[in-house]
Chain A
Amino acid sequence: MNERQTFLRRLKAGLKGMPRSAVADIVADYDSHFEAGQAAGRSEAEVAARLGDPTRLARELQAEAGLRRWEDERSMAAALGVIVGVLGLAALDLFIVLPLLTAAVASVFSFFVAGLAICLSGSVMLPFALITNLPGFAGDRLQAGLLSLGLASGGASLVAVCILFTIGLVNVLARYGRAHYRLIAPQPSV
């Protein structure tokens, strides 16, 4: 296996998940870089060494594509793209920030799930409370109804807060990613 094929194969592997046409475009860019390098009298190994680590390049390209998408459309999938993209990059050189970020994402997610569950159970309890009172509940039907309403709206606001927090977090991540990965990694020490 020669250097050129190894480089392109690792690059392609790192770009998995991107649209096929985008991957083909990117791979073509680097392929012609090898072509031009050899025309200029460099060996494949030399060209590959000067290009840098293909895995890292692939993550930069992925993160860039994710950020771009988040700026175009504020959707759930785009937000997920930013989180995965920046985390992927951070995994390469930010071992300190990574656990913090992962913890933040995980706790927001669990609050989100908890909020959803509370809201749902409140909504399910409400009709029962109003019609027959809750089984095993000491108060009267009004109290049971208010309790269910409280659970439903409390859960809903927890979910809303989580969504707001997530949007904020993704924006911070996007800004962070832009600042740190607007290219140029120092010459790889080979």
Chain B
Amino acid sequence: MDPNLVQFKKGVLELCVLALLSQADSYGYDIASRLADAIDMGEGTIYPLMRRMQKDGMVSTYLVESASGPPRKYYRLTASGRDSLNAQKAAWTDFTRSVAAVLEQHQEKTP
């Protein structure tokens, strides 16, 4: 994988998890497999991230009985997680818009 791409993805992983959880509560495997498909990451790295986000108070957890095997740990977005999502989303949108503008200028100069 392109090393630049790895750095980009690292930066937006948290934003992606927040966005995913803002739609519905979810459990580790589900978050990991959906993000792995979307941005091509190693699935194992989701758990250190969830741990950190939980300690930072962005998500909370609760257990749900599952039909097969032990109860599943679900993650839910907290109020501060939602604030963080809005802030990061705004920053991301601003940033990508500026980058796109710069790239466009570059394209006009070098046809």
User: Using a CB–CB distance below 8 Å, which chain A residues touch chain B?
Assistant: 26, 29-30, 32-33, 35-37, 39-40, 50-54, 57, 60-61, 64, 68, 182-188
Q: Which residues on the A side are within 8 Å of B66 (C-beta)?
A: 39
Q: Which of B40, B47, B52, B69 contacts A29 (CB 8 A)?
A: B47
Q: Are A184 and B13 in contact (CB under 8 A)?
A: yes
The DSSP consensus for interface residues of chain A is: helix
**Given A32-B70, A40-B33, A61-B51, A187:B45 Cβ within 8 A:** no
Q: Which residues on the A side are within 8 Å of B69 (C-beta)?
A: 32, 35, 39
- CB-CB contacts below 8 Å: B38-60 with A: 40-52, 55
Q: Which residues on the B side are within 8 Å of A57 (C-beta)?
A: 44-45, 47-48
Count of B interface residues, CB-CB < 8 Å? 33
Bound Cα distance from A182 to B104, whole angstroms: 31
Q: Are A35 and B68 in contact (CB under 8 A)?
A: yes
B6 interface residue (CB < 8 Å to A):
yes
Q: Which of A39, A61, A68, A188 contacts B55 (CB 8 A)?
A: A68
Bound Cα distance from A54 to B14, whole angstroms: 21
